[in-house]
Every structure is written in C-alpha cells, then in structure tokens.
Chain A
Amino acid sequence: MTPFKSVPEGYQSHWEDTERIVVAALTLEIADLLRQQTGATEPTGADSIAALYAAFDEPTEIHDPAVQRLLPDATDDVELAAEFRRLTQNDLAMSKIQALRRWAKLLTADQRNIDHGLVIVPRGQARAVAAALTDIRLVLAQRLGLETDDDVERLHAALFDGGLADDIRNYWASVFVTVGYAQQSLVDEMIRDLRASGRPAATWD
C-alpha cells in the first residue's frame, strides 16, 4: 500500500488486493470478537428497550486479554471501575464495533475504488477509522505477545532483517506493520488538516 494522501474526497491510498482482503477480514473478525466478548447490543429500533435494560445489568465479564485492553478498567477503585463499566462498556464496545465495520466497508464496498486499487477514507470518518486501526493493532500486538516498546522494535528489526522464522508469526507481524503504516500516514494528513482548519471542536464525525 501507499501512504494516505489528502484528496478532495478524503484521504486516499493504493492497496494491493491481498492487503485489502486480509485487513478487511481481520477487521470484521475483531468486530465479532468484541461483540462476542461484551455481548454488545445496538441501541436502535427494537433493541433499544433491551439496551436500556442492559444498562442496569452487570456488564458481561471480558475474558479475552486483547478485548480487556480495548476496554480497560477506568480506575484502580474497584467499585468505581465496575460502575464505569456498567455505564459505558456497551456504548464503547458498540462504537468500536461500528468503527471497525465502517473501515471494513471502506476497504471492500466500493467496486470502482477496488477496480482502481484505491482506499478512500472520507474526512468525516477519519477519526473512527484511525481509532479502528489502533484497535486492530492492539489485538494483533496481544496475539503476538508484544508488551513493551522494545518488543515492537525487535519485531520491526527482525521483520526487515529477512523476516521471522515462524511463518504464521511473520504473517501477522507484517499485517501489524502494514496497518501501522496506514495509520501513521492517515494521521499525518489528519494532523495537517486539523492545524490548517484552525482546530475545530472535537467531534467523532
């Protein structure tokens, strides 16, 4: 893939078909993992009553360490952390799931972009996409056992020094780096736009 560049339609980069397919499939897998682990419900239509009741229930306990990292405890105070989780976990999980699905859709839904090898992130979706890219990397890092800055630097070094001995590890390490490259270039352009626009109010969309 090429770095994202600012264009009138948003932020654009070129992706190989395999990159697009691998990252889109992984993205949807992580969205499903989040949904399974949290039991997150959509706050819409017939589900809204269920979602309202859910707010008074104990939130689903998360067992997957990667999902625990996506939805960490808000404080050392056990009671306050539980209260925070009860009030926010469903919404946070749902917004992450929606952002991941949105990103997967941007990768796969527009046949004309696919034909041209393009991925275009509209400006209004860029924050959600950047957050989704972080979430993807957080899950991959947990699966790869990357716990410190040094772990990541060693992984990069090994990857660019002929690759890792373990093929599967090498594959996911490559995806980790590719998604990071996408995020880095996307965020560089977003920062440029943010500074050029004179700092708009912080909104998700």
Chain B
Amino acid sequence: MTVAPVLPDQALDYDLAEQADVDEQAHTAEPWITIVWNDPVNLMNYVAFVFESYFGYPEAKANKLMLQVHKEGKAVVSSGSMERMEADVQAMHGYGLWATMQRASD
C-alpha cells in the first residue's frame, strides 16, 4: 500500500497576513456559544473547509479559527440562541469535529 506523509503542519500554507482583517470573535452578548476542540486526527485544511463552507466565514476568519483550535486547543466558532447552537453542534459532529455548546457566561 502506498504511504504518503500527511503531517498536519503540511496543510499550513495559508496567508497569515490576511488575518489582520479578521472579524472579532462571537459577540459575548449572545446567550450560547459553540466550541470546537482540537483533536489529533482532523486535518487542518478540513477544519478550515468546514468553518468556511458550513458557517460561510471568509477564508481568513476560517483559517484564524482553525489555527486557534490547533494551537490553543479550542475556539468559539459561533454564538446565538440555544436552538441555533444545537444545530451547529450537530452539524460539527456530522463533520467529525469535536464540538460542544455552553452558556456564553460560563
């Protein structure tokens, strides 16, 4: 069987300079937040793809959140009503990402 290197860092060829434009994170005024946690399996390009395609985030914001998950172990990826966060967590689990929700104030 062919074996090819897929070291997670190889996915990291994004333009970090673009991150200056990234929006600030989820509003703290929203009552619930969805958190995505780091895991050793998901590839960086896949996590960025999920953030970009599911949430509709711009490339720079999706990459910033992906790097935050990778480096800091977690990132708040969305905020809003409990029902919306339930939908987001369910979607993240569908994509194989490890996500949880909690009250923004916790």
Q: Please indicate the chain B residues that have their CB under 8 angstroms from the CB of A22 in the complex.
A: 1
Q: Which of A41-49, A51-59, A102-110, A145-153 contacts B (4 or more CB under 8 A)?
A: A145-153
A171 vs B90: C-alpha distance in the bound complex, in angstroms? 33
The smallest C-beta distance from B54 to any residue of chain A, in angstroms, reads: 5
Q: For B56, list chain A residues within 8 Å (CB).
A: 199, 201-202
**A75→B90 contact, CB < 8 A:** no
B100 within 8 A of A: yes
- Chain A positions within 8 Å of B93 at CB level: 70-72, 74, 88, 92
Contact partner of B54 (CB less than 8 A), chosen from A19, A135, A202, is A202
Verify B100–A184 contact, CB threshold 8 A: no
Complex interface: stretch among A31-39, A114-122, A173-181: A173-181
In the complex, chain B residues whose CB is within 8 Å of the CB of A131: 94-96
**A82, CB-defined interface residue at 8 Å:** no
Is A194 engaged at the interface, CB distance under 8 Å to the other chain? yes
B86 and A84: CB pair below 8 A?
A: yes
Count residues on chain A whose CB falls below 8 Å from chain B CBs.
55
> CA A71 – CA B4 in complex, angstroms?
29
Bound Cα distance A137, B47 (Å): 14
Contacts of A73 in B (CB 8 A): 100
On chain B, the residues within 8 Å of A191 by CB distance are 45, 48-49, 52
What mask results when residues 1 to 37 of chain B are scored 1 for a CB within 8 Å of chain A, else 0? Answer: 1111111101100000000000000000000000000
With the chains together, A131 CA to B50 CA distance in Å? 10
CB contacts (< 8 Å) of A190 on chain B: these are: 49, 53
How many of chain B's residues touch chain A, expressed as a range?
35 or more
Q: Are B5 and A156 in contact (CB under 8 A)?
A: yes
B1 x A175 contact (CB < 8 A)? yes
Does A28 make an interface contact (CB < 8 A)?
no
B7: chain A residues at CB < 8 Å are 153, 156
Chain A minimum-CB-distance residue to B89: A74
**Cα distance, A16 to B3, chains bound together (Å):** 12
Residues 171 to 205 of chain A near chain B (Cβ within 8 Å)? 174-175, 177-178, 180-181, 183-184, 187-188, 190-191, 194-195, 199, 201-202, 204
29 A-B residue pairs with Cβ-Cβ distance under 8 Å, sorted by A, are A70-B96, A72-B98, A74-B101, A75-B100, A88-B93, A92-B93, A92-B94, A134-B46, A134-B96, A148-B40, A149-B38, A149-B70, A153-B8, A160-B3, A160-B5, A174-B1, A177-B3, A177-B5, A178-B1, A178-B4, A180-B6, A180-B43, A184-B6, A187-B43, A187-B45, A187-B46, A195-B59, A199-B56, A202-B55
Rank and list the top 6 A-B pairs by shortest CB-CB distance, nearest first. Answer: A134-B96, A180-B6, A181-B4, A152-B40, A202-B54, A141-B41
